[in-house]
Amino acid sequence: MVEFKNLYFLWLLLAIPLLLVIYGFSAYLRSRRLSRFGDIQLMKPLMPLASRFRGWIKTAVICAAIFFFVTALMQPRIGQVVAEMKSKGAEVIIALDVSNSMLATDFSPSRLEHSKLAIARLVEGLREDRIGLIIFAGEAYVQLPVTNDYMSAKLFLNSITTDIVSRQGTDISKAIDLAMKSFSSQSGSSRALIIITDGENQEGNPVEMAELAHNEGVTIHTIGIGSPDGAPIILPNGTMLKDKSGEIVMSHLDLNTLKLVASAGGGSATIASQSDLGLSDIFRSIKDMEKQEWLSEEFKSYFELYYIPLTLALLLLVIDALILERKNKYLQKLNLFRHK
């Protein structure tokens, strides 16, 4: 069955009826102007090479060429081939803090944007490991299920803001709990969770949850982003976040919490710097984990047919160039384009 990849080019077919209307109207105007000089039937012997139908034929050929050009633009394709692809690696989920404290400016342009850039650079270097993305604040959500589609990972990453989670706060335990549910059943012990946050945990018991996750085969690494001295939080509207008393809120790095979570999770705690978030070092350690061979994945492959309508369109343009508006005196004897 033939299907089309780019159906949004379909509206270009409106040019066909428009062209027919324009040519029909111009032919009508030409006929009216000619009738001012006398009866058209009586003037025919004076115009032996004039043709009433060749203009319409050329217009029809152009319309057909437009139809095939638009068909080619819509990229017709037929059939599908199911291919198998196997990979061997680890499953890694990155849990990214999107609470308002990640808008602090001790990292340029902010803790959140700095983290996103580092994750994007890391994704570019991945080959066989599968990656997933969780965002969390007061609640945790799966932003991207575990996949080896790295292009999608970068696209989903770009859409992350602090507004994406309605409930503010920081609950690392919920991010760990959601990650445990998000790993595939076939990943075995080749599972790692990387938590990127300033560590200002306000809810839950992340250390207890990290121990539980580690007992189920998940290794947890933490990356602390922020400074112990603290920094103001610049909200999206450009103002500084203030508390109820009107004082400017300063967000501090809580490294102690992150060390406890990483220790309970059997991983490492890293402090991010302006030049290096620490993701690359963690992934190098993940490379030493036991690799898991993933089940075959299916994808569709199509046989492209766009060249067929494109060839027909070009052929019709050549035919249009060969058809003259006037009769060819050498072909008149063959009785082409006229009735007996």
And the tokens for 83? 């291919």
Phi and psi, residue 146, nearest 5°: -60, 125
- The reported pLDDT for the residue numbered 56 is 78
What is each CA distance from 259 to 20, 190, 279, in whole angstroms? 75, 22, 16
CATH of 88-293, one of 1.20.120.80, 3.40.710.10, 3.40.50.2300, 3.40.50.410: 3.40.50.410
CB neighbour class for 42 (10 Å; exposed up to 12, middle 13-18, buried from 19): exposed
Every domain of the chain with CATH number 3.40.50.410 lies at: 88-293
Instruction: Pick the closest to residue 191 from 163, 165, 229, 217 (CA basis).
Output: 217
The pLDDT tens digits along the chain (340 residues) read: 678 888 888 889 999 999 989 888 887 787 776 666 656 565 555 555 555 667 778 888 999 999 999 999 998 888 665 556 666 778 899 999 999 889 998 888 899 999 998 888 888 877 778 899 999 998 999 999 988 888 888 888 888 998 888 888 889 999 999 999 998 876 666 789 999 998 876 778 899 999 999 999 899 999 999 888 888 988 888 888 888 888 888 888 888 999 999 999 999 999 988 888 888 888 888 777 766 665 545 556 677 888 898 999 999 989 888 876 655 554 455 554 454 4
